[in-house]
Structure 1
C-alpha cells in the first residue's frame, strides 16, 4: 500500500489533570483521534496507581494537581516505570526538562494537542520532527 498509516508508538495514555473541563476535552479529543485513554485522574495517588498497574505509552500531566503531590511527582513515578511524560501546563518548571520528553503550554487547541502528540511520537521513534507545533517544547530524552 502506497499511503499506509504509520504505526504509532503512543497508543495508551493516562491524563492527569485537575481542571475537569480540560480533562474532559483532552479525553474526548484523544479518543476521537484513535488513542486509548486508559484513565483520567486529578491527583498523584490515583495517577501512581494507574502507572503501576497499566501498560502506558505516555503520561499527559499538568504540574498543579489536587491533593498531595504534583505533576513532577507523577513524572517521577512514570520515569520509574520507563513511561514518557508530556507536561501540559501554563508554566513549565525548569525541573521538567529532566523528567519529561516535552512540555505543551496552556492554553492549547485540540489540533495543537494532536499535533504535539504526533511530534512526540516521531521523536520517540527516532524520526526527525519536521514541524514542532506552537507551544510545544521538546526535551532530550529523559
Structure 2
C-alpha cells in the first residue's frame, strides 16, 4: 500500500515510516504542513495516509483529511488530542491516539489493507477508534465512538 505520512514531529514521522515499511508497505512521502501534504496527495496519489491533526502550520490536519476524502483516499488520524476530530471524522477510516503502540499501529494498517483489498467487513482492531455508523448523526457523541484504549 502506497502510504503518505503527515506528521510535523520528525522523530515520530521517522518511527511511523519505519513501522509502515516493516509492515510491507511503501511510504511515498512525509509532509509536515498543509502545503507539503496537498502537493504529495496531488502528485503521488497515495493509496492511504496517516494524518496528524496539529502540524507545523497549525491544526490543518483536518483540512488535509477533507482533501484526502475528496479524492477518495482513505486515511487515519494519529493525534494526541482526539477531541479535535469533528464528530463525522471528515471521512477518516478512524483514529489512533498518541502515544500508540507498534502492535496497535500494525493492526490498524492490516485493517486498512483488508478494507482496500475488499475483504468484506473486517473488525476494527482495539487500537483504532472508529465512527459508530449505527448511531444517528444528530445523537452521536464522543462516547458513541469505538473508544477502546490503544493496544
TM-score w.r.t. the length of structure 2 is 0.77
- Aligned match of 2:120: 127
User: Which residue of 36, 52, 56 maps to 1:62?
Assistant: 52
How do 1:1-142 and structure 2 match up within 5 A?
11-67=1-57, 70-92=60-82, 93-95=85-87, 97-124=89-116, 125-130=118-123, 132-139=124-131
Alpha-carbon distance between aligned partners in 2 of 1:50 and 1:114, rounded to the nearest angstrom = 23
Residue ranges of structure 1 left out of the alignment (5+ in a row):
1-10
CA RMSD of aligned residues (A): 1.8
Unaligned runs of 5+ in 2: 134-151
Normalised by the length of structure 1, the TM-score is 0.81
CA drift of 1:126 comes to 5.0
Supply the distance in 1 between the matched residues of 2:30 and 2:68 (Cα, whole angstroms): 15
- Higher RCO (CA 8 Å, separation ≥ 6 residues): 1
Structure 1 pair 109–68 and aligned structure 2 pair: CA distance change class (3 A): closer
SS in 2 for 1:117: helix
Whether contact under 8 Å (2:4, 2:48) holds in the other structure is yes
